[in-house]
Amino acid sequence: MLCRDVFGETLNESRDPDHGQSDRYTSRFFLKHSSIEQAFDMLQEQGFKLVASCGSGTAGGNVAELKPGVDLEENRWNHYNEFVFVRE
């Protein structure tokens, strides 16, 4: 598996407890890193390059800096980030 080749023992695999009514096996993968930069470094060491990224939502800031319509505490941590890596 490519994930195991890149991340080695820092990759934690577990069963997905929220797989619905299906009896199929599902799994989740988690990285044991304390910061995302550690994962990025491991990807670079294996020949991957970051080619795209995007994000949405608001994380942090004070009331004056929040986007219109954003709740305070509930949405402070509601964000999504995506990073795309390729290996040539």
50-74 pLDDT, tens digit per residue, is: 999 988 765 555 556 666 666 665 5
Quick check: is 66 in a domain? no
For the chain, how many structural domains are there in total?
1
- Evaluate if residue 6 carries a pLDDT over 80: yes
Q: What single-letter DSSP state applies at residue 47?
A: T
Quick check: is 18 in a domain? yes
Rg (CA), the chain: 17
Quick check: is 82 in a domain? yes
- Evaluate if residue 49 carries a pLDDT over 90: yes
Q: How far is the C-alpha of 76 from the C-alpha of 57, rounded, in Å?
A: 8
Quick check: is 40 in a domain? yes
Report the share of the chain in percent with pLDDT over 70.
59
Write out pLDDT tens, residues 23-35. 666 667 888 888 8
